[in-house]
Structure 1
Amino acid sequence: MSGPGGVPLHRRTALAAVLGGLGLAASGCLSMPESGPVVEADGGSTSEADPGTVAAIDARGPEDGQSPSEVVQGFLDAMQAFPSELATAKLFLDPDVRSTWNPERTIVYAEASPPAGGTYHQRVVLTGAEELDARGAWQGRLTGTDAVLDLDLREVDGQYRIVDPPDALVVPEEWFSQRYEQVSLYFLDSTGTDLVPEPVYVSTDEKLATALVSGLLAGPGKALTGVVQSMFPEGLRVDLSVPVSDGVAAVSLVGDPLALGDEDVQRLLSQLSWTLGQGSSIQAFTLTVGGVAVRSVGGAEQIPVSSPQADDPGYERTGSTLFGLRDGLVVAGSPGDLGAVDGPWGATPADVREIAVSLDGLTVAGVSSGGTALRSAPLQQAGVTRTLLTGTDLHDPHWDRLGRLWVVDSTTAGAVVRWHRSGVTGTLEVPGVSGQDVGGLLVSRDGTRLLAVVHGSRRDRLVLARVRSSAGGRPRAAVAVSDLQGDPGDLPSRLRDVAWTSETSLTVLGRPVAGSSSLVSLGVDGSPVSVSGVTTAISGSRSLLGSSVDGAGVYAVTRTGLADLSVPARSPRTSLDGATALTYAG
């Protein structure tokens, strides 16, 4: 059943749960304070996060008589101050540029050559350099001249000073990995009914909450127009910082008071709730915009933070349940304990070779044994089998939260990405994927990301595309298409499968070499991810089984059973007991 705009009503419950948890109603969300903004102060802690055991670094300023290379090296060293501050690094700059140097980007490097050059020009070559944008989003590797710092200097009162500093904070990889962590900024999908994570790196110092809120205010960027949206109007900025006292983040934004409808105000609060909920020291927040307090329907200023998995009913209903086929019947349960479902495909063989279960746990879809039809039936209730679409060689069906069912059709002219929703079918042209030899497809639960394994003559590619949709959820275009690569040499040249390990991370399976297949962890943005305790090679693996839901195991499917990738490779494997086509919901 669909609501206005064709959005399935069952899907709206996830965002409604967020808003209900916040204690917000459809009206009365904004309340004018009686006498202007009020800031409560007590003896509680005012730090936002504990940097833990990471050592503080006090930067050293310039000394008289330093050579040009010593000035440049001192400048690089001063950017490693922690907790972060730029005042010391600015002392190495020409006075004319100090006030305007406020780098927004970050460059992280594995190694840097010693500064070298002449009296008024120094060069530093960075090895293994990667770039983050102003929000902290990973932008990929820097190569060629982009990985070189060419710095001009001049004499100021007898001392050398830098006149053209890079528009970036430039820090070594080891320093960065100890002091930054990857989190997500949550934006809304095109329908306004689902929250979508956009991964960014933020400092773990006392400015964590400030960085998270500032990232939300920066927005998702023009490249993601129609993919995700933000309810925060342009022009807002954080008033100095976001202090956290006794677990409550005080978010004060400078700009015009909100001129949003009640539902959009609630969506804005859900963005903030999910994003701030990643800070371990933050349990609630208050929000004022242009001096106007945003309150719950009961008038409370403190709004509790939340998390995606606590608010999405789909996690509870189908999150860690495995589904598969055995003797032609659909089965469900846990590894080693799978039983037939109660729907029609659990009683009579369905004649399908692959299945996909909807995220609400109500429907199962399957590709016919010949690959020419995509069918569906109720998962646990009585009902009939329906043919949704037909094709040449259909494979890799996946559902998203909008109730869209995606599938690849490998035709004689190459791959076609197709979708079905509420009786309507369509195709999506995906540059770099459509017309190619596609060996596998993944779709994120929020439906904004498509990942495809594309086979090539010399090497395979892992292609990411973002899905631009209408306000009603109809797919319109694939945008921001890129090849995910990680660190050079990480991905094997031949890829067999890819699986979700979280909302923002993946595991990629290579084809066997000398009997063993490599496993590589990647961020959904293509950034290299180091996951402790996860197996990096496995023998006899045919495919991967994973989910973005916390608590769902990640497995390699082998001839002898399921191999849990979170335990040592030689651990006993769980018997498949004749089951095939194993999958999680989605």
Structure 2
Amino acid sequence: MGADRVGGVRRPVRAVAYAASGVLLLAGCASMPDSGDLRDVESTPRQDSQLRVFAMPPREDAPPAEIVQGFLEALTSDDPQYATARQYLTGTASGHWRPEQSTTVLAGGPDIQVDRTTGHDSGDDYAFTLTGTKVARVDAQQSYTPMVGGYSQPVHLTRDKKSGQWRIDVLPQGVVMGQSDFQRNYTSVNKYYFASDTWANSVTSATAVADPVFVRRRVDAMTQVVRSLLSGPTRWLESAVSSSFPAGTALRRGVASLAPDDQNRLTVPLNGKASGVGREKCREMATQLLFTLQNLTPTVDTVTLQRTDGGTLCSLKEDQTETVATRGSVKQPDYLYFVDDKRRLVRIADGGTAAVAEPVPGALGEGVQKLSAAAVSWDEHTAAGVGYDGKSLFVGSLVAGGALDAPVLVSQGKAEGDRLTAPSWDARGDLWVADRDPARPRLVLLEQGEGEPLDVRVPGLKGRVDAVRVAADGVRIALVVKAENGSKSLLIGRIERDEKAGDRPVVSVLELRSAAPELEDVTAMSWAGDSRLVVAGREEGGVQTMRYVQVDGSTPEGPPPAALTGVQSIAATEDEQLPLVAYSSEDGIVQLPSGAQWQKVTKDGLAPVYPG
């Protein structure tokens, strides 16, 4: 049992064209051997987004090694239906191969090894093994999942008895490619659904929830995204959200591609499943489309939905969506909040750009109860503060003259680090906090910030919750979880409420998944977009870093925040125009405006927060 790696001379097999100019280039890094020997298919370096990559078909009398390598190169091209890749397969294998089933991402390109255990000495068959280190997998729903461990899949070739040409007859389902090829070929897009419990709790509109998926960026991404939206939410999110598109809704038969007109309006022809919807339901459908498309192409500002007969179901403009649903925070925050050197809750207008902080109205700004951390409700009418020793949680109105009532929660933890975390408000007005008491670690919910604390169920949790931040949509929650070995990881959970369980709801956080798998020790985090978080922590090897991550564990495009040492807390907002704010043990409270460097807000303060 064994496999040998072999090397050889390679020739170009993949053509790269500038989409804008039509100039054709040969990519020397993607090459093939002239003989039967081969090298590993290294992941192609990142290339300009204007480049398009076209696959080359197999040449006459190509040896087995060249066929395998050419097929793998063809998988990284911009061929919409993988027609060229199928030319490397037998007819039967092509009929059974489903490239849309999954995309497996490896740290580098697939390592091709000759399988010496097969009986290919007959001259009519040949076997290889594809190996590598798994990074992630994108499933048939286009949902991304980080992965670890080795990859090993067999590839078998046979010689056609009539033509004498080698072709692949056994291969793994789906597509496999290196990480840099994946980053060049795919882009992450948020599609939007509605939080299932918001229709009954919202006076004017529902709450939109982002559901990130990956699509091939230069293979009619707009049509891909629309089809994905119509097919429904991904499995991880589907139990907590709903779609206003009737079940079975799809693009009208014969519609192959969608494109906006010269007035930035996209017309979407639908099949008969949507023909009977009313005006309000149609407006909800159009809102889902607009939110989704603007995440991909911000220039689209109008959506028109068509019936099967070509008639108009409804048309909706961008500025009309706010009457249907809200995305992220209901409104832009009025203030940035933090705890000053007198342990009072104070605030600064304009996202921290004002020169002077002022105590908040009410008891939490008077300094009678000294604080170590705080959170402000989304409407900025109420605040919660953790006492200086981390033991007690107080809730007070941000109204002048308001009294401070007895604490709503008290931890029995003996050490300060084993007591309450900083709290977090959700969009419903409920308050979340974790008690780190080793004798009774728990995640707690206080309905409307008051009453008897409700223990939240977190099945599958391994360790204790060390930090809590609820997303603005109220459906997802970010938790920093401390394991028994002391390491801290960032996990995302789905919030579900069973309102029929009795007098009080049963609240659960389900299906925890890693959002920062490359960090060994997370020290601070905050939501920084509909599906994005900013996180500070330590990489393998002890390197301190700050980066943006997606809820699915992928890394968003764009540069990370500028480096900052000693980060202990971070404040961000779903409004990406407001500055990122952090508390550093070395610099105090600092802010990072878009396109600028870190700037000092104040040395005399800690625990900065935006509403939420």
Q: Indicate the TM-score class for this superposition, using the shorter chain for normalisation.
A: 0.7 to 0.9
Distance 2:96 2:261 in 1: 32
Query: Identical aligned pairs, as a percentage?
Result: 24
In structure 2, relative to structure 1, the CA distance for the partners of 1:222 and 1:143 (3 Å cut) is same
**1:34 paired residue number:** none
Distance 2:359 2:602 in 1: 14
Which residue of 123, 133, 137 corresponds with 2:139? 133
Bigger Rg, structure 1 or 2: 2
TM-score relative to the length of structure 1? 0.79
**2:260 paired residue number:** 244
**1:482 paired residue number:** 513
Q: Structure 2 counterpart of 1:450, which letter?
A: I
**2:336 paired residue number:** 321
Distance 1:122 1:446 in 2: 48
- Size of the aligned set, in residue pairs, is 523
Which residue of 143, 147, 159 corresponds with 2:149? 143
- Say if 2:80 is the partner of 1:106: no
Q: Structure 2 counterpart of 1:285, which letter?
A: V
In structure 2, relative to structure 1, the CA distance for the partners of 1:360 and 1:292 (3 Å cut) is farther
Distance 2:79 2:126 in 1: 31
**1:256 paired residue number:** 273
The CA RMSD over aligned residues, in Å, is 3.5
In structure 2, relative to structure 1, the CA distance for the partners of 1:575 and 1:139 (3 Å cut) is closer
Which residue of 295, 302, 308 corresponds with 1:284? 302
What SS class does the counterpart of residue 274 from structure 2 fall into? coil
Whether the 8 Å contact between 1:402 and 1:446 is mirrored in structure 2 is no
What SS class does the counterpart of residue 146 from structure 2 fall into? strand
- Say if 2:92 is the partner of 1:73: no
In structure 2, relative to structure 1, the CA distance for the partners of 1:522 and 1:312 (3 Å cut) is closer
Distance 1:513 1:79 in 2: 31
**1:469 paired residue number:** 497
The superposition leaves residues 271-295 of structure 1 with CA deviations (integer Å, 9 ceiling, x where unpaired) of: 1120011213423222135447554
In structure 2, relative to structure 1, the CA distance for the partners of 1:291 and 1:304 (3 Å cut) is farther
Q: How does 1:52-451 map to 2 (within 5 A)?
A: 53-82=49-78, 84-104=80-100, 105-109=102-106, 110-114=108-112, 116-117=114-115, 118=120, 119-141=125-147, 143-144=149-150, 147-156=151-160, 157=162, 158-192=164-198, 193-205=206-218, 207-238=220-251, 239-246=255-262, 247-258=264-275, 263-278=280-295, 279-291=297-309, 293=311, 295-296=313-314, 301=315, 303-304=317-318, 314=329, 316-318=331-333, 321-333=336-348, 334=352, 336-347=355-366, 349-380=368-399, 383-387=402-406, 389-392=408-411, 393-422=419-448, 423=450, 425-433=453-461, 436-451=463-478
Q: How does 1:454-465 map to 2 (within 5 A)?
A: 454-458=481-485, 459-465=487-493
TM-score relative to the length of structure 2? 0.76
Distance 2:404 2:279 in 1: 42
Distance 2:611 2:71 in 1: 52
**1:518 paired residue number:** 545
In structure 2, relative to structure 1, the CA distance for the partners of 1:520 and 1:74 (3 Å cut) is same
Q: Structure 2 counterpart of 1:113, which letter?
A: D
**1:557 paired residue number:** 583
The superposition leaves residues 82-115 of structure 1 with CA deviations (integer Å, 9 ceiling, x where unpaired) of: 2534111111222124345342222233222235
In structure 2, relative to structure 1, the CA distance for the partners of 1:163 and 1:306 (3 Å cut) is farther
Q: Structure 2 counterpart of 1:449, which letter?
A: R
Whether the 8 Å contact between 1:257 and 1:292 is mirrored in structure 2 is no
Q: Structure 2 counterpart of 1:148, which letter?
A: S
What SS class does the counterpart of residue 526 from structure 2 fall into? strand
How much does 1:577 deviate?
A: 4.9
Distance 1:95 1:555 in 2: 58
What SS class does the counterpart of residue 396 from structure 1 fall into? coil
How much does 1:398 deviate?
A: 0.4
Whether the 8 Å contact between 1:186 and 1:271 is mirrored in structure 2 is yes
Q: Which moved more, 1:254-263 or 1:103-112?
A: 254-263
How much does 1:405 deviate?
A: 1.1
The superposition leaves residues 460-487 of structure 1 with CA deviations (integer Å, 9 ceiling, x where unpaired) of: 332221112357995632222123343x
Distance 2:549 2:194 in 1: 24
In structure 2, relative to structure 1, the CA distance for the partners of 1:249 and 1:116 (3 Å cut) is farther
Distance 2:169 2:272 in 1: 34
What SS class does the counterpart of residue 428 from structure 2 fall into? coil
Whether the 8 Å contact between 1:509 and 1:517 is mirrored in structure 2 is yes
Q: Structure 2 counterpart of 1:288, which letter?
A: Q
| Higher RCO (C-alpha under 8 Å, 6+ residues apart) | 1
Q: How does 1:18-33 map to 2 (within 5 A)?
A: none
The superposition leaves residues 295-324 of structure 1 with CA deviations (integer Å, 9 ceiling, x where unpaired) of: 44xxxx464488899956946441663343
